[in-house]
Amino acid sequence: MKNWITIALILASANTLALSVDEIVSKANQAAYYSGADGIADVSMIITDASGGERSRAFRILRKNTGDETQKFYVYFKEPADVRRQVFMVWKEVEQGKDDSRWLFLPALNLVKPIAPGDKRTSFVGSDFVYEDVSGRALWEDTHELIEETDTHYIVKNTPNNPDAVDFSEYTVSIDKQTFLPMKAEYLDKNGKLFRRVEATRVETVQGYPTVIESRVDDLARGGHTINTFSNINYDTGLNERLFTERFLRRPPREATR
Amino acid sequence: MKHRLKKIGLIVLISPILFAADLEPSGFLDARYGIRTQSDPNSDQETLNELRLQLGSIWYHDLFTATVRSDFIYDSVNNLSDPIDLREFNILCSPLDWMDLKLGRQILTWGTGDLLFINDLFSKDWKSFFAGRDEEYLKAPSDALFISFFPTLGNIDIAYLPRFAPDRLIDGERFSYWNGTALSGTPLRTDEPNSDEIAARISRNFQGLELSAYGYSGHWKTPQGFDPASGKNTFPKLNVYGTSARRALLGGIANLEAGYYDSSDGVSDQVRLLVGYEHEIAQDLAGAAQYYTEQKCGDEESRHVLTLRLTQMLMNQNLTLCLFTYWSPSDQDGYLRPSATYKLSDHWKLETRGNIFFGKDNDTFFGQFQDNNNLSISARYSF
């Protein structure tokens, strides 16, 4: 019996060791962006520029997993006052050759405006986060290489397959072996110099899902950083997919406003 | 005056209730000054000198959402203008799972054009647009019943406006216009029809291709006729049938819209068409171009307009530089709208805008406003 358990343990650890880099990044991607069937969270964002000036943003984000890695996001702005009640919606695609669909709702004009797919490395609402940090980067866009494995972390180097489309030459991600959450990503510019760092600074388990409660981005080239704090996190709330349509851009659902 | 008092009374009565119940009180205080860059024999030098307080609140109840949003204006250019501009005062509910109903004063918008409108016949405020008020003021509010149905075949929207409302026109107040024989600053006299308006849209998204069909029955929103007996400009009857398509294309957004203007009372029918494309040129620099044409039936010549929008965001998106241009090769006239907006903080926003018209002749669409070129500056505190 004891032998049997030992064999099982050896097999299990052998299995862990045998995780390929593709399996690691796939699990990390799932842990970072796909927990539960859906999720709701309030986000408070503090943007600090190089000279110490501060701006803040507050929004609620609704997310629903809709299919084979496709997702829908609904971002309802609460602060600052000049963007209050604006809604940003994304239908995320991961398949190569397919672009995300994005819309903006401007309440003062009662206008739903599609936004050009555009550059996902553009700043999200003036912060140091880019759109891709919010909704995720498709795995096929990079070549992944497991460069180090510590007791607690996998260190994966990612090289973009289309370097002209991005502002970095490579980035290295530390992935927690327990939770598979990416804990730190460091981006090198085209000259190989570290210019950007994204970190998960606080993690808690919510409804059984390891969840980033606070994250931070540092713009090391220009100075300045942004801190995101997540609260009122709920998973598996049974969000209806029809909330992610033009109808509910024009009349935000209670899931967004309450 | 009586009407105005009634309006003030209504707001005074309603506002505290909504503020107490809620919820999401918000608004801004906006100071704006604008001046002509040349003189106009028909108008004053100042185009804007106003202080505007907007207060709004939303009440999210289980059964309905009530919205009130109103501007209170001190206007030193025109002391006679209405000190209250009620922007929204409506109630929204879903009597059925597949139906929404919004009743009251509201902003109505549809169509695919960028500052060009074919099937959107809801009232515009050209005076605010030309004066350099915030772009949201181009949309004048409508008193309407707006019903939306969401069956599986698509979305159906119907707007019923019990009382016809024309655009807020360039009528000699603040800005001069071509009166048929000369440039004029005398008040434009109009005879508004006492009738209703109805507009409908059916739209559906086919795998990212957004297709819509539109219909409108009402009157021209700007005067197209003249009654020699009364000496007033008139708004002849108008029906519009149109369609639009919009989709992502080659990393940008492409749109196409057309409308047939079926007019009566001696005004020719028209076909209007626009095609547009928007694309990011570089990071934080967006470009958009449109071609628009209107062809009077039975007329050889048609009007062509090209528009270009460039938007550059700088300084962590706190500074926005924008240039929107209209240029008509057929009328040989145009209109430039440069602006710079700086978000000083989460509350304070500073802005400067220009409105520059040019044209070979005084009687063309933009050419008639050549004496109205103006620059404006503003400071807004949002809360």
Q: Which residues in chain B are contacts of A45 at CB distance < 8 A? A: none
Q: Which residues in chain A are contacts of B139 at CB distance < 8 A? A: 109-110
Q: Residue A12's pLDDT is what?
A: 53
Specify the 3-state DSSP secondary structure of A165.
helix
Q: Which residues in chain B are contacts of A121 at CB distance < 8 A? A: 283
Determine whether the interchain pair B148/A119 forms a contact, defined as Cβ–Cβ distance below 8 Å: no
Q: How many secondary structure helices (H) and strands (E) does chain A include?
A: 5, 13
Provide the residue count of chain A. Answer: 258
Backbone φ, ψ for residue B248 (5° rounding): -75, 135
In B209-228, the residues whose Cβ lies within 8 Å of chain A are 210
Give the helix ranges, DSSP H, for A90-189.
Answer: 131-135
Percent of chain A with pLDDT over 90: 83
Please tell me which of the candidates B108, B155, B383 has its beta carbon nearest to residue A110. Answer: B108
Determine whether the interchain pair B347/A80 forms a contact, defined as Cβ–Cβ distance below 8 Å: yes
d(CA B70, CA B169): 21
Quote the tokens at residue A66.
């809709």
**Chain B residue closest in CA terms to A125:** B317
- Express each pLDDT in A164-203 by its tens digit: 989 999 999 999 999 999 999 999 999 999 999 999 999 9
Determine whether the interchain pair A108/B148 forms a contact, defined as Cβ–Cβ distance below 8 Å: no
- Express each pLDDT in B315-352 by its tens digit: 999 999 999 999 999 999 999 999 999 999 999 999 99
In terms of pLDDT, which residue wins out, A214 or B79?
Answer: A214
- Residues A13, A5: contact at Cβ < 8 Å? no
Domain boundaries, chain B: 2-382
Residues with Cβ within 8 Å of B371's Cβ and at least 6 positions away in sequence, in order, are: B36, B38, B39, B40, B41, B42, B43, B176, B183
Map out the domains of chain A with their CATH numbers.
23-257 (2.50.20.10)
Q: For residue B168, is pLDDT > 70?
A: yes
Q: What are the residues of chain A with a beta carbon less than 8 Å away from any beta carbon of chain B?
A: 47, 49, 55-56, 79-82, 84-85, 99, 101, 106, 108-111, 114-119, 121-123, 125-127, 224, 246-247, 251, 254, 257-258
Quote the tokens at residue B82.
């209405």
- How far is the alpha carbon of B39 from chain A, nearest alpha carbon, in Å? 33
Determine whether the interchain pair B346/A101 forms a contact, defined as Cβ–Cβ distance below 8 Å: no
Q: For residue B10, is pLDDT > 80?
A: no
Q: Which residues in chain A are contacts of B108 at CB distance < 8 A? A: 110
- How far is the alpha carbon of B160 from chain A, nearest alpha carbon, in Å? 17
Closest CA to A167 of A135, A144, A139, A193: A193
Determine whether the interchain pair B60/A108 forms a contact, defined as Cβ–Cβ distance below 8 Å: no
Backbone φ, ψ for residue B372 (5° rounding): -105, 10
b/e per residue, B173-210, with b = 16+ CB within 10 A? bbbbbbbeeebbbeebeeeebeeebebebbbebeeeeb
Determine whether the interchain pair A116/B155 forms a contact, defined as Cβ–Cβ distance below 8 Å: no
Range with top average pLDDT, A2-11, A240-249, B13-22: A240-249
**Chain B residue closest in CA terms to A53:** B345
Q: Residue B64's pLDDT is what?
A: 93
Determine whether the interchain pair B253/A109 forms a contact, defined as Cβ–Cβ distance below 8 Å: no
B264 touches chain A (CB under 8 A): no
- Express each pLDDT in A138-171 by its tens digit: 999 999 999 999 999 999 999 999 999 899 999 9
Closest CA to A253 of B153, B176, B62: B62
Q: Residue A5's pLDDT is what?
A: 59
- How far is the alpha carbon of A55 from chain B, nearest alpha carbon, in Å? 6
Q: For residue B277, is pLDDT > 50?
A: yes
> At A97, is the pLDDT very low, low, confident or very high (cuts 50, 70, 90)?
confident
**Mean per-residue pLDDT, B283-301:** 93
CA B85 to chain centre: 15
- How far is the alpha carbon of B374 from chain A, nearest alpha carbon, in Å? 24
- How far is the alpha carbon of A225 from chain B, nearest alpha carbon, in Å? 11
**ipTM, 2 decimals?**
0.91
- HSE (CB half, 13 Å, CA atoms) of B360? 6
The per-residue pLDDT of chain B, averaged, comes to 92
Helix/strand/coil (H/E/C) assignment for every residue in chain B:
CHHHHHHHHHHHHHHHHHHHHCCCCEEEEEEEEEEECCCCCCCCCEEEEEEEEEEEEEEECCCEEEEEEEEEEEECCCCCCCCEEEEEEEEEEEEECCEEEEEEEECCCCCCCCCCCCCCCCCEEHHHHHHCCCHHHHECCEEEEEEEECCCCCEEEEEEECCCCCCECCCCCCCCEECCCCEECCCCCEECCCCCEEEEEEEEEECCEEEEEEEEEEECCCCCEEECCCCEEECCEEEEEEEEEEEEECCEEEEEEEEEEEECCCCCCEEEEEEEEEEEEECCEEEEEEEEEEEECCCCCEEEEEEEEEEEEECCCCEEEEEEEEEECCCCEEEEEEEEEEECCCCEEEEEEEEEEEECCCCCCCHHHHHHCEEEEEEEEEC
Determine whether the interchain pair A118/B251 forms a contact, defined as Cβ–Cβ distance below 8 Å: yes
In a mutational test of the A interface, the residue from B97, B256, B310, B316 whose CB has the highest number of chain A CBs within 10 Å is B316
Q: For residue B20, is pLDDT > 60?
A: no
**Chain A residue closest in CA terms to B320:** A126
- How far is the alpha carbon of B41 from chain A, nearest alpha carbon, in Å? 35
**Chain A residue closest in CA terms to B254:** A116
Q: What is the pTM of this model?
A: 0.91
- Express each pLDDT in B27-80 by its tens digit: 999 999 999 999 999 888 999 999 999 999 999 888 999 999 999 999 999 888
Determine whether the interchain pair B283/A55 forms a contact, defined as Cβ–Cβ distance below 8 Å: no
Closest CA to B330 of B309, B359, B355: B359
Q: Residue A200's pLDDT is what?
A: 97
Q: Which residues in chain A are contacts of B112 at CB distance < 8 A? A: none
B317 touches chain A (CB under 8 A): yes
Q: Residue A204's pLDDT is what?
A: 97
- How far is the alpha carbon of B144 from chain A, nearest alpha carbon, in Å? 14
B90 touches chain A (CB under 8 A): no
**Mean per-residue pLDDT, A63-76:** 95
- How far is the alpha carbon of A22 from chain B, nearest alpha carbon, in Å? 29
Q: Which CATH number is correct for B2-382, 2.40.160.100, 3.40.50.300, 3.40.720.10, 2.60.120.560?
A: 2.40.160.100
- How far is the alpha carbon of A47 from chain B, nearest alpha carbon, in Å? 10
Determine whether the interchain pair A82/B279 forms a contact, defined as Cβ–Cβ distance below 8 Å: no
Q: Residue B1's pLDDT is what?
A: 47
Determine whether the interchain pair B383/A247 forms a contact, defined as Cβ–Cβ distance below 8 Å: no
